[in-house]
A and B are shown apart, each in its own frame.
Chain A
Amino acid sequence: MVIGTGTSDRRAHRCLFRRLSRRLSLLGAIACAVVHPAVLAQSAPPAQSPPPDGVVAGQGAAYPKGSYAALDQLPDWGGIWFLNRGAPGAAASSPILKGEYRERYETWLAAAREAQGVVTRNRSNCSPPGLPRIMQLAQYPYEFIFAPGRVTINQEAWMQTRTIWTDGRTHQEDPDPTFMGDSIGHWEGDVLVVETLGILDDLEIEAGVFHSPQFKLTERISLSPDNPDVLVNQMRMEDPEAFAEPFEVQVTYSRNRYGVLYEFQCAENDRNPVGEDGHTQFN
């Protein structure tokens, strides 16, 4: 395949295509019309990003060749993983909030009680929860993909993708706040240790519980020593503005070896829009 970026090369290809399609001139015209904008967009190479802090130019996840064999040393996390639900009636622990975050939660709780448990929502149900909640979903499994310098977590929920960089880079100095934040990981033996910063502060940790921009999530993910088909994620959450003390919670996932993630197109099945009053509708 030709990878040249010269506009004239592209034009020649297009004209050849059109000549070949001359007998089907309408088809040729349509094909050229569809191709045209893409050709323009690709006529200049993309601006090149510098290597991230902590990675030497020419190394890191962007240069995977030569590093694939080393992946075989990593633990066996193949298959897909379902969250293990808590035992019925088990009390769920929550972070101890302080200041405005506590007041905000209490206001939310009072409103929820007033409405017999019907809670309001300020975003579409087709908007994913972001971290750390996206790692605690009971209905949608996960898969973990190892590649040189990175671990990718595919999440069935909202077909979300999470990247954990393991190529030695450090956190971005001022990461854009996002649903998945800036995740930097490393392997301690068979334990993947991940620290995430830069999670959007308008996302909830759990219903009614918000965090500040200072929120930091540390995960230690490893196979259970008792059962190789159970994956353990020890989550530690710290937030000097919102939490009175660090909050730790452990979740586990169980393996379905040959299971596969199922497609998730929320917009195609948005039967639960959120009304103006913040209540989830049912269509």
Chain B
Amino acid sequence: MIISNKRLLGTIALALAVPVVPSLAHHSYSMFDMRKTVVLDAEVARFKWQNPHAFIEADVAVAGGGKERWAIEMTSPNNLIQAGWRRTSLRPGDKIKLYVHPLRSGVKGGSYAGVRFPDGSTLGEVE
């Protein structure tokens, strides 16, 4: 899939390494392009802490004004706790850098890889 970087203010990185795909989950990960990583400068609209997947909904500014809403699927809360996440880790309005494996379909969504918080700290894969 192609994400037009003209439309995104966020930088786009393509990871060459094939990441470890979650083996058995709520659904197949084939809808995501797990070989690609997109980096988004995003403002959190909603952080939903729930099974089968936690979710981040975030707004990304687009060139020429306006913004688009991305939906980022994460793993389960219990797995996220293992990785250092909490229900209160993100709040609406937080400005973060999001690393996601984008949907193949081109819809504004993806699978969470990592995050850089406003204070510079990180969780997950941020390469």
Interface residues, chain A, with chain B CB atoms under 8 Å away: 80, 82, 85-86, 88, 92, 112, 116-119, 121, 125, 129, 133, 136-141, 156-158, 207, 256, 259, 261-266, 268-269, 271-272, 279-280, 282-283
- In the complex, the answer to whether B103 meets A282 with C-beta atoms within 8 Å is yes
- In the complex, the answer to whether A271 meets B53 with C-beta atoms within 8 Å is yes
Looking at the complex, which one of B24, B50, B79 makes contact with A269 (CB distance below 8 Å)? B50
- In the complex, the answer to whether B78 meets A156 with C-beta atoms within 8 Å is yes
Cβ contacts under 8 Å, B52 to chain A: 125, 139-140, 157-158, 264, 266, 269
- In the complex, the answer to whether A121 meets B28 with C-beta atoms within 8 Å is yes
- Nearest neighbor of B79 in chain A, beta-carbon distance: A139
Interface residues, chain B, with chain A CB atoms under 8 Å away: 20, 22-28, 30-31, 48, 50-53, 55, 71, 73, 75-79, 81-82, 103-105, 107, 109
Cβ contacts under 8 Å, B103 to chain A: 282
CB distance from A54 to the nearest CB of B (A): 34
- Nearest neighbor of B108 in chain A, beta-carbon distance: A282
- Nearest neighbor of B104 in chain A, beta-carbon distance: A118
The answer to whether A282 and B22 touch (CB under 8 A), given A262-B76, A271-B73, is no
CB distance from B47 to the nearest CB of A (A): 14
- In the complex, the answer to whether B22 meets A139 with C-beta atoms within 8 Å is yes
How long is the Cα–Cα vector from A136 to B75 in the complex, in angstroms? Answer: 15
How long is the Cα–Cα vector from A112 to B28 in the complex, in angstroms? Answer: 12
Cβ contacts under 8 Å, A263 to chain B: 50-51
Cβ contacts under 8 Å, B22 to chain A: 85, 138-139
How long is the Cα–Cα vector from A129 to B73 in the complex, in angstroms? Answer: 20
- In the complex, the answer to whether A268 meets B50 with C-beta atoms within 8 Å is yes
How long is the Cα–Cα vector from A27 to B42 in the complex, in angstroms? Answer: 50
- Nearest neighbor of A118 in chain B, beta-carbon distance: B30
Residue of B25, B103, B107 with most chain A CB atoms under a 10 A cut-off: B25
- Nearest neighbor of B48 in chain A, beta-carbon distance: A269
Residue of A118, A261, A282 with most chain B CB atoms under a 10 A cut-off: A282
- In the complex, the answer to whether A282 meets B26 with C-beta atoms within 8 Å is no
Cβ contacts under 8 Å, B30 to chain A: 112, 117-119, 280
Taking A85-B22, A263-B50 as given, write out 16 further A-B residue pairs in contact, using a Cβ cutoff of 8 Å, ordered by the A residue number: A82-B78, A82-B79, A121-B27, A129-B24, A138-B79, A139-B24, A140-B51, A140-B52, A156-B51, A158-B52, A207-B28, A263-B51, A264-B52, A269-B48, A280-B31, A282-B109
